[in-house]
Structure 1
Amino acid sequence: MSPMRFAVHLLVHDQPQLFAALAASLRHEAIDVYVHVDATSVQDLFESAVRAAGADVTFVPPAARVDVRWGGLSVVRATLASLDLAAASGIDYHRHTLLSGADVLLRPLPVLLERWSDDAEHLRIDRRLNRAESQGHLKPRRYWFPDQPLLDRTRLSGRVPRRIPPGPPLVEGSQWWSLTGTAIRTVRDYLDAHPAWLRGHRFSLCPDEFVFHSVLADSDMAPRITQNYLDRTAPDETLHALHFIDWSVYDAVRPAELTEQNLPTALASPAMFARKVGAGWTWRAGQTC
């Protein structure tokens, strides 16, 4: 049996030094790192930073880069561009993990690799995307324009009703996941067979929080999802798949940054990564806190 291989997919748009440090912390012969740099960012800065850090990564080529805008389908398209690059390598990865360039690895690599070696689908699903369960039930039911900045400025975003594109029942959760190669193929096969479904969500808000989730929850992979809270209460609000994410301020647009003060809490959790750290962050796995 061939040794397991793992793919990491990094979405980056700023802070090249943080990104390079994260990539360097993942150096291992079993790990390949694929990077999507926002089309509006200067990729040369990230290439220089990662070279200086001594990390080996593969960048999504310029023609496939996406202008990523928060809340838009562009986030999903950037993720798919990185996944497609990994698929083109011909390597049969056991697992794919989606990270931000502002994340930090919390564990030594042997611990991470052992966790990655299971067959679980590390994905968090919090609720059905309907009026009864979700305050965000209008995300797919109104026209939103995060990827169309000119239209977004008209103040029509989120005001005009529309029909949900036909497809699997919509469920939502955390954008960040760690999925087996089988799960990734399940999602890709569905999207390839139903291109109108993904295209139909180009005017939805935050499809990165429901596209993968909805396909997998409606598939044979569903029993392997580790955090499916559709019919039970989540026991932990900080664990999102393999990420520690502090959403203690529930009306915040972004999670609280990891600090020296809450690092011990992150390390005491089952998480492998934490999201997210600030520009001055220096701690890395293996150091004491």
Structure 2
Amino acid sequence: MKHAVLFLAYKNIHHLFDYISILDDDFLFYIHIDKKSAVSSDIIEALSQKKNVVFLSRKYTVNWGGLNLLKAILHLAGEAVKNREVGYIHTMSGQDLPIKSSREIKEFFERNDGKQFIEYFPLPSSRWTDGGLDRLNYFNPYDTFDRKTRMGKKLINATVRFQRFFGIKRKPFDLFPTLYGGSVWWSLSSSCVQYVLDEIRNNPAILKRLRYTLCAEEILVQTLLMHSPYRTSIVGNTLTLVLWEYRNGNSPATLDKSDFSTLQKSPKLFARRFDYPASRDLVSLIKKELLHKEHSNSYLS
């Protein structure tokens, strides 16, 4: 069984090289780099020369919260399902890293073959502001304006406030009896991902309605799968460890060397968020441990 890793990256591109170096040849990488990211042609060429990098694209300009993030995932997924050897497909950001060795990850999915690892909960939910439905009920222009800029954030906030003030709401998202939300970081079987792609292709109204929806990538896959034959095989959690606290300037926390013991003890397979310079020493420790495990396993076999 091969594994496809769908990478969504926009900065710290060198981190992808660390990720790729940790895993063996059974892991194939499909990478989308934000079109607006300042990445040199030399880096792009070096990435494309990695034997495990199967597909590399810069098709979309990706703003946080915009629909283009979901489109980038679907773009990569469409390439991954073409390989019949791929058993599982994993979504990752450029701030993720495996915390288990290649062998441990593969053995986990051999034991759990056919299960779908994706977080889900019905909407509205107390986990999200205003239950999460405001993501769909108002026009959220995150693809038009970049929330990461001061002016972009002001324009987005002003647009939503205007709609609230005048009582403007979009038509209800009534394509499904119940909507579901959850993390965008999932591990799904190739057949399950193919089902999602087929449903979107056969019903273009779904993506059309998701335009101007805030973080649609945290709603679409969960909703489709919870109304599918795959519902009974879903394990309702993610395999990525995230520490939901404010540390090193971010929430969720940017991980650092002090988290190494926590990562070692965790049953999760992956972790985030890694950012530099705070995570540099931690990444070195993880690489050293996992590559040592791989070497030891290879020697013993």
Common fold by TM > 0.5: yes
**Residue number in structure 2 paired with 1:156:** 159
1:217 aligns with 2:226: yes
Does 2:36 correspond to 1:40?
A: yes
Match runs of 1:95-244 below 5 Å: 95-117=88-110, 118-125=113-120, 127-130=121-124, 134-135=128-129, 136-149=132-145, 153=155, 155-157=158-160, 159=163, 160-168=168-176, 169-227=178-236, 241-244=238-241
**Residue 71 (structure 2) aligned to one of 77, 81, 95:** 77
- 1:36 aligned partner, one-letter code: H
Instruction: State the Cα distance separating 1:21 from its structure 2 match.
Output: 0.7
Question: How far apart are 1:164 and its partner, in Å?
Answer: 2.8
Deviations 1:7-33 (A, max 9, x none): 1111111111111111221232x2211
- By how many angstroms is 1:69 displaced? 0.8
**Structure 1 178/132 Cα, relative in aligned 2: closer, same or farther at 3 Å?**
closer
Shift of 1:285: 4.4
State how far apart, in whole Å, the 2-side matches of 1:270 and 1:257 are. Answer: 19
Identity of aligned residues (%): 23
Q: Which has the larger radius of gyration?
A: 2
CA RMSD in angstroms, aligned pairs only: 2.5
Output the CA distance in 2 between the equivalents of 1:21 and 1:287. Answer: 13
Residue of structure 1 aligned with 2:286, choices 262, 266, 284: 284
Distance 1:46 1:12, change over 3 A: farther
Amino acid in the other structure paired with 1:138: D
Aligned pairs, how many?
A: 266
SS in structure 1 opposite 2:114?
coil
Give yes or no for contact 2:23–2:101 (8 Å, CA) kept in 1. Answer: no
State the alpha-carbon separation in 1 of the partners of residues 83 and 125 from structure 2: 43
Greater fraction helix: 2
Shift of 1:264: 1.5
Aligned partner of residue 156 in structure 1, secondary structure: helix
CA offsets 1:54-108 (integer angstroms, 9 cap, x no match): 553133345xx11111111111000011111223x44342110011122111011
- Distance verdict in 2 for CA 1:253–1:144, change over 3 Å: farther
Query: In the aligned structure 2, how far is the partner of 1:144 from the partner of 1:61?
Result: 26
Residues 1:267 and 2:264 aligned together: yes
Local SS of the residue matching 1:74: helix
Distance 2:105 2:80 in 1: 20
Q: Bigger shift: 131-140 or 99-108?
A: 131-140
Q: Are the equivalent residues in 1 in contact too, given 2:80–2:89 (CA < 8 A)? A: no
Q: Partner of 1:139: helix, strand, or coil?
A: helix
Q: Deviations over 1:134-176 (max 9, x none)?
A: 5322111111000011887261136342123332221111110
CA contact (8 A) 1:95 1:180 kept: yes
SS of the aligned residue for 2:16 comes to: helix
In structure 2, distance between residues paired with 1:46 and 1:187: 32
Q: Normalising by structure 2, report the TM-score.
A: 0.80
- Distance, in Å, in 1 between the alignment partners of 2:56 and 2:172 is 31
Structure 1 residues 119 and 286: CA distance shift in structure 2, 3 A? farther
Post-superposition CA distance 1:234-287 (Å, at most 9, x none): xxxxxx5110001135xx974111111122222212111111112232232452
Unaligned runs of 5+ in 1: 228-239
| Separation in 2, partners of 1:273, 1:133 | 22
- In the alignment, the residues of structure 2 paired with residue 203 and residue 253 of structure 1 have an alpha-carbon distance, to the nearest angstrom, of 26
Cα distance in 2 between the residues matched to 1:45 and 1:145: 34
Q: Distance in 1 between matches of 2:133 and 2:262?
A: 32
* Residues 15/49 of structure 1: CA separation in 2 closer, same or farther (3 Å cut): farther
Q: Which has the larger displacement, 151-160 or 210-219?
A: 151-160
